[in-house]
Chains A and B, each alone.
Chain A
Amino acid sequence: MYRSAVGSAAEFHAATLRGEGPGLRVLLHGFGTDQSIWDSLLERCDPAAPVLRFDHMGSGRSRAERYEPGRYASLDGYAQDLVDILDELDVRDCAVVGHSVSGMISLLAAERTDRISRLVMIASSPRYLNDGDYVGGFEVSEIEDLLRQMELDFQGWARALAPAAMANAQRPELGEDLVYSFSRSNPEILRQFARATFFTDVRHRLADCTLPVLVLQPEADVIVPREAAAYLAAGLPNGRLQVLPAQGHYPHVSAPDVVAAAIEAFLSEAEAP
């Protein structure tokens, strides 16, 4: 089992690496979850392919004490984390599969490194706010309302997020203490993450990304309208949209077979000369 060096970016983000060799796949969880969200998808993907996962700052078992408000005020800080980890592990020619906001994080990371050669974006949007003819799905007031509601249910978020991160079958009582300490920092970090996510706009950066990109969009998604996903795929020079027969924002969990098949087909095609 891979163990990240103490004090490394990989350690700060609780990175886990399965397997070795070329063709590494990096799986990036989205907002409000952690790397365990990929479990059911991984069971259905090529077991021989090496897989790297980690937790974004403030999520899962990442080290919240490393949080710097300035660095994570925009998605660029999260993108730099990905770049730092790829540099540290000297990864080459990897495919990054990003859910939701991580689609954009992987796009920003690809601008900063040549270690990434393919992208898969699941339920991702280049901009959540409506803008003229552009359909992002939300008005500013609705996003402000969302951030207010998140703050209102501070403890609820902590409780919802903590068990996955803190599960300790041997000592459940440890969970209680950790949930409390966790609840002091991570929900606030998460709220800032929400702000960075929902106010982001990377539409003007799509044309510069020449990597092959597969945009996977569920049929019905409350968070990302079909129009935004179509805009994303059309704006990427080598982008392609595939609408999945899946409901909800988490097709990789609700319909892992469909998502796994789409990813395997795309990656085997991209590997061909």
Chain B
Amino acid sequence: MSLGAADLATGSPVGLFTATLETRLVDVNPAFERLTGVSRETALGQPLRAFLTHASQVIYALKVETALLDRGRADEILLELQRDGGGLPVLLTLVSASDGGAVRHGALFPAPERRAYELELIAARRAADEARDARDLLLREVYHRVKNNLQTVDSLLLLQKRGLKDPDAVDALQAMRQRIFALGLVHHQLMGSSDLRSFDVGAFLRELASHLAAAARPDVRIEVEAPVLPIGLDVAIPLGLIVTELVTRALRHSFPATGGTVRVQLTPDSGEGATLRVIDDGQDGHDDAHAADVSLGLSIVRGLVGQLGGRIEPASAGTTAFEIRLPLPEPP
């Protein structure tokens, strides 16, 4: 037994129809009757949009009309058929006759799952947006509190320092305050960061340098050369502390009599790394009286460089320089 075109249309589970160029119905199949709830006799001659909800008639005008005018066809437009008890979601595909005749062929696919799926998607998107907003708020709040707590620690150290007479103890507390400032500055940068995860290393180092310079002799300058490069918390904390230690060390020991310049240079390598140099043009004035403090600072640097997976290159002869090669992974 062979099946003809009429059998195809009759048995089709998809609503099929032919229509004029103005999309008035010329013929419909039984599935079309079932979907719309309208008999063939009633449907013929009516515009297709008459079977849509009012809102879907607008969508029809906005999307189907323009698509037909523009491309001569409209594909899988989600619309709702007017049925008792609400709209029945369908996907409409409408094409012009392949022979260029004044007929359009159309198909209506029932799409209740599609609507359910879209509703789930909307709910999931909303939930994700809300969760992200809540997380951002919380993170900002945490950064803020950490920064405030570090400021409190700093205030306590300042109070403690005022009561001390021993210059070594005063120096030690002052060095500790600089380290705490570096930590606080990282959290300050994170608070203002748009993604709450990374910030520009150049701006960070410049702000750190300007704070360190405020405590230095007025004739010593600190210059920062760093690219615009995002770094995250994991890199910023050790990097900030390393720079603090090395700059503080240079300020303390390299300029006993005259001023000069300390240069902080961060140069990205070709790979995922960078070279940090802290160079000064002062004299290499290692003062034995500060040996214990110096060795603490340097052991902190060694520890942090190790934590970052970097290595300290031997200083070039004749200059007071530190050269540290650091991996700089992309912020998470």
Of chain A, the residue at the smallest CB distance from B60 is: A222
Most buried by B among A149, A150, A223, A254: A149
Query: Are A223 and B78 within 8 A (Cβ)?
Result: no
Task: For the complex formed, measure the closest distance between the CB of A226 and the CB atoms of chain B, giving whole angstroms.
Answer: 15
Which of A42-50, A80-88, A151-159 faces chain B? Answer: A151-159
Query: Are B76 and A33 within 8 A (Cβ)?
Result: no
Which of B22, B77, B118, B119 is in CB contact (< 8 Å) with A247? B22
Query: Are A149 and B66 within 8 A (Cβ)?
Result: no
- Please report which residues of chain A, range 11-50, place their CB below 8 angstroms from some CB of chain B when the two chains form the complex: 31-33, 37
Number of interface residues of A (CB under 8 A): 29
Query: Are B65 and A249 within 8 A (Cβ)?
Result: yes
Query: Are A149 and B59 within 8 A (Cβ)?
Result: yes
Interface membership of chain B positions 106-129, coded 1 if the CB is closer than 8 angstroms to chain A and 0 otherwise: 000000000100110110000000
Task: For the complex formed, measure the closest distance between the CB of A11 and the CB atoms of chain B, giving whole angstroms.
Answer: 24
Docked complex Cα distance between A143 and B80 (Å): 14
Query: Are B122 and A154 within 8 A (Cβ)?
Result: yes
Of chain A, the residue at the smallest CB distance from B57 is: A222
Docked complex Cα distance between A142 and B54 (Å): 7
Docked complex Cα distance between A154 and B123 (Å): 13
Of chain B, the residue at the smallest CB distance from A33 is: B66
Chain A residues within 8 Å of B58, by CB: 146, 222-223
Interface membership of chain A positions 198-240, coded 1 if the CB is closer than 8 angstroms to chain B and 0 otherwise: 0000000000000000000000011100000000000000000
Task: Decide if B53 is an interface residue (CB 8 Å cutoff).
Answer: yes
Query: Are B76 and A146 within 8 A (Cβ)?
Result: no
Secondary structure of the A side of the interface?
helix
Task: Decide if B61 is an interface residue (CB 8 Å cutoff).
Answer: yes
Task: Decide if A248 is an interface residue (CB 8 Å cutoff).
Answer: yes
Query: Are A32 and B78 within 8 A (Cβ)?
Result: no
Chain A residues within 8 Å of B60, by CB: 222
Interface membership of chain A positions 75-117, coded 1 if the CB is closer than 8 angstroms to chain B and 0 otherwise: 0000000000000000000000000000000000000000000
Query: Are B62 and A249 within 8 A (Cβ)?
Result: yes
Chain B residues within 8 Å of A31, by CB: 62
Query: Are A152 and B69 within 8 A (Cβ)?
Result: no
Chain B residues within 8 Å of A145, by CB: 53-55, 87
Task: For the complex formed, measure the closest distance between the CB of A114 and the CB atoms of chain B, giving whole angstroms.
Answer: 33
Query: Are B115 and A152 within 8 A (Cβ)?
Result: yes
Docked complex Cα distance between A160 and B49 (Å): 19
Chain B residues within 8 Å of A154, by CB: 118, 121-122
Chain A residues within 8 Å of B76, by CB: 156
Task: Decide if A266 is an interface residue (CB 8 Å cutoff).
Answer: no
Task: Decide if B63 is an interface residue (CB 8 Å cutoff).
Answer: yes
- Please report which residues of chain B, range 40-89, place their CB below 8 angstroms from some CB of chain A when the two chains form the complex: 49, 53-63, 65-67, 69-70, 76-78, 80, 87
Query: Are A250 and B80 within 8 A (Cβ)?
Result: no
Chain A residues within 8 Å of B65, by CB: 248-250, 254
Docked complex Cα distance between A254 and B87 (Å): 29
Most buried by A among B49, B54, B119: B54
Docked complex Cα distance between A249 and B68 (Å): 13
Query: Are B119 and A152 within 8 A (Cβ)?
Result: yes
Query: Are A156 and B78 within 8 A (Cβ)?
Result: yes
Task: For the complex formed, measure the closest distance between the CB of A258 and the CB atoms of chain B, giving whole angstroms.
Answer: 14
Query: Are B55 and A152 within 8 A (Cβ)?
Result: no
Chain A residues within 8 Å of B63, by CB: 32, 156-157, 160
Chain B residues within 8 Å of A223, by CB: 58, 61-62
Docked complex Cα distance between A151 and B78 (Å): 11
Residues of A at under 8 Å CB distance from B? 31-33, 37, 138, 142-143, 145-146, 148-154, 156-157, 160, 164, 221-223, 247-250, 253-254
15 A-B Cβ contacts within 8 A?
A32-B62, A142-B53, A142-B54, A143-B55, A145-B54, A145-B55, A146-B55, A148-B55, A149-B78, A151-B122, A153-B77, A156-B78, A222-B57, A223-B61, A248-B65
5 additional A-B residue pairs with CB within 8 Å, beyond A154-B121, A249-B62: A146-B59, A152-B115, A154-B122, A221-B61, A254-B65
Q: Which 5 A-B pairs have the closest CB atoms?
A: A146-B55, A145-B55, A153-B78, A222-B61, A32-B62
